[in-house]
C-alpha cells in the first residue's frame, strides 16, 4: 500500500484543493477502507462555506465527506473479533458514539452525550476527517455489510436513506396517514419512500423546479411552492383539514412555517433540515391545536433496517442520483450541487 493518498482538503472556508496526504492508520476497533463512492450532502456544502464555524469542522484544514461505500483495506487491532476481513464491502455512516452514556445505552447514539469529546465520540466528516479521499478510517460501529445486490454508488446513498427513514420514524407515520414533505431534495424524496413504507396513504411533496418534477416522476402528489401559497394548496387538497404529518426536509425558516401551517389539529412535524438562522413559529397555534414539532438528527439504528429496502428498490436511491464526478473534479461537483439550474439532486464522487 502506498504511503499517501489523494484527498479533498478544505484549507479554509471556500478554499479547497486536491492534495496528497498520508494514508491514515486504523487504531483499535477501526478499519481502513478504500473509498469507492462518496456522495455530496448538503452539510458538506455548508461546511465548505464555513457556515458552522468552530463546530463543523472544529478547525481547518479538513477532509469532509460522510456518505460513502467501499471495501476494507486493513484492520486495526481487535477488529477480527467482529468478523470483519480485508476485502469486505461496506457502507459507512458518520456517528461513532461512545456507547456508554445514557442516550447511547437507550439506542439513541445520534444524541451521544459525549459528542465531540476526544477519545469518546467522533462524527466522521464533521468533527474528524472524512471520506472525500481514496481511503478513510472508521470505527466498527459505523460500518455495515453492503449486500451483493447493491453497487458502491448505491452504498454511498444508504446513509441518506437511513436518515430519511429516521425522520419518517420520528414523524410517527401511521398506516393511512396523509403526509406532506417540504423540500424535494434527496432526503425529501427518499422521505417520501419512507413514508410509504410506514403506510402513508398519500404523500404530497412541496417544492419547485426540477426537484419537484422528479417528485412527480416518482409518483408523489406535488405542490409548486412558486405558484402560490403552498399551505392553502395543501389544505385545499385535504378538505381543509391539513395533513397528519409533515417531514420538514428543507431547513429554511419559511418552510418550517409552512410545515406547521399544513398540519391538521393534533398533527406532528418532524424536522431534519437544519436552518442556519433563527425561525419564528406560531406558538399560539402549536399550543391550542396540540401540534408537535420534533427534531430528527441523522439516524439511530436505521442503517441495518434500510439496507433491504434499498436492495428491494423500495427506497429508490438510484432515482435521486443525477451526476457523477471523479475526486479530481470535486470543485465542479460542488459547484454543480450548489447550482439550482444544474438539475442536481445527489452527486456521486469516485475517488
**Per-residue tens of pLDDT for the chain, all 351 residues:** 899 999 999 999 999 999 999 999 999 999 999 999 999 999 999 999 999 999 999 999 999 999 999 999 999 999 999 999 999 999 999 999 999 999 999 999 999 999 999 999 999 999 999 999 999 999 999 999 999 999 999 999 999 999 999 999 999 999 999 999 999 999 999 999 999 999 999 999 999 999 999 999 999 999 999 999 999 999 999 999 999 999 999 999 999 999 999 999 999 999 999 998 999 999 999 999 999 999 999 999 999 999 999 999 999 999 999 999 999 999 999 999 999 999 999 999 999
Pinpoint the alpha helices (H) of the chain: 42-49, 102-105, 152-156, 158-170, 186-197, 209-217, 230-237, 253-262, 283-288, 302-311, 330-338
Cβ contact 141:99 at 8 Å: yes
Cα 186 to chain centroid, rounded: 8
Chain region(s) in the chain for CATH 3.40.50.720: 165-295
Q: Domain 165-295's class?
A: alpha beta
Q: What is the pTM of this model?
A: 0.97
- What lies within 8 Å, CB to CB, of 83 at 6+ separation is none
**3-class DSSP state of 206:** strand
Cβ contact 70:327 at 8 Å: no
User: What distances in angstroms separate CA 97 from CA 52, 110, 147, 165, 202, one per listed residue?
Assistant: 21, 7, 24, 20, 36
Cβ contact 209:340 at 8 Å: yes
Q: What is the DSSP letter of 81?
A: G
Chain region(s) in the chain for CATH 3.90.180.10: 4-156+316-350
- What lies within 8 Å, CB to CB, of 314 at 6+ separation is 193, 196, 197
CATH 3.90.180.10 fits 4-156+316-350, yes or no: yes
Question: Count of CB atoms within 10 A of residue 164's CB?
Answer: 33
Amino acid at each position: 500500500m502506498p504511503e499517501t493518498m489523494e484527498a479533498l482538503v478544505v484549507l479554509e472556508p471556500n478554499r479547497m484543493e486536491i492534495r496528497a496526504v498520508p494514508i491514515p492508520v486504523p487504531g483499535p476497533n477501526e478499519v481502513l477502507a478504500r473509498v469507492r463512492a462518496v456522495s455530496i450532502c448538503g452539510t458538506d456544502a455548508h461546511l465548505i462555506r464555513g457556515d458552522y464555524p468552530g463546530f463543523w469542522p472544529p478547525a481547518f484544514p479538513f477532509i469532509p465527506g460522510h456518505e460513502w461505500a467501499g471495501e476494507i483495506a486493513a484492520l486495526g487491532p481487535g477488529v477480527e473479533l467482529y468478523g470483519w476481513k480485508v476485502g469486505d464491502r461496506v457502507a459507512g455512516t458518520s456517528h461513532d458514539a461512545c456507547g456508554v452514556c445514557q442516550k447511547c445505552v437507550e439506542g439513541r447514539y445520534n444524541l451521544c452525550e459525549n459528542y465531540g469529546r476526544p477519545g469518546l465520540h467522533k462524527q466522521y466528516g464533521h468533527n474528524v476527517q472524512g471520506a472525500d479521499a481514496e481511503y478513510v478510517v472508521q470505527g466498527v460501529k459505523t460500518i455495515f455489510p453492503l449486500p451483493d445486490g447493491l453497487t458502491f454508488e448505491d452504498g454511498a446513498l444508504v446513509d441518506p436513506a437511513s436518515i430519511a427513514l429516521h425522520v419518517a420514524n420520528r414523524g410517527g407515520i401511521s398506516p393511512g396517514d396523509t403526509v406532506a414533505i417540504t423540500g424535494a431534495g434527496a432526503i425529501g424524496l427518499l422521505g417520501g419512500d419512507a413514508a410509504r413504507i410506514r403506510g402513508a396513504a398519500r404523500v404530497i411533496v412541496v417544492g419547485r423546479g426540477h426537484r419537484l418534477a422528479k417528485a412527480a416522476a416518482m409518483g408523489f402528489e406535488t405542490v409548486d411552492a412558486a405558484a402560490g401559497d403552498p399551505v392553502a394548496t395543501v389544505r385545499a387538497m385535504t378538505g381543509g383539514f391539513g395533513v397528519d404529518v409533515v417531514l420538514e426536509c428543507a431547513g429554511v425558516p419559511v418552510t418550517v412555517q409552512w410545515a406547521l401551517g399544513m398540519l391538521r389539529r393534533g398533527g406532528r412535524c418532524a424536522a431534519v433540515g437544519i436552518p442556519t438562522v433563527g425561525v419564528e413559529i406560531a406558538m399560539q397555534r402549536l399550543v391550542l391545536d396540540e401540534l408537535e414539532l420534533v427534531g430528527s438528527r441523522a439516524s439511530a439504528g436505521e442503517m441495518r433496517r434500510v439496507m433491504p429496502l434499498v436492495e428491494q428498490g423500495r427506497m429508490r436511491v438510484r432515482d435521486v442520483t443525477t451526476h457523477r464526478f471523479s475526486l479530481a473534479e470535486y470543485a465542479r461537483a460542488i459547484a454543480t450541487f450548489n447550482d439550482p439550474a444544474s438539475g442536481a439532486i445527489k452527486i456521486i464522487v469516485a475517488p
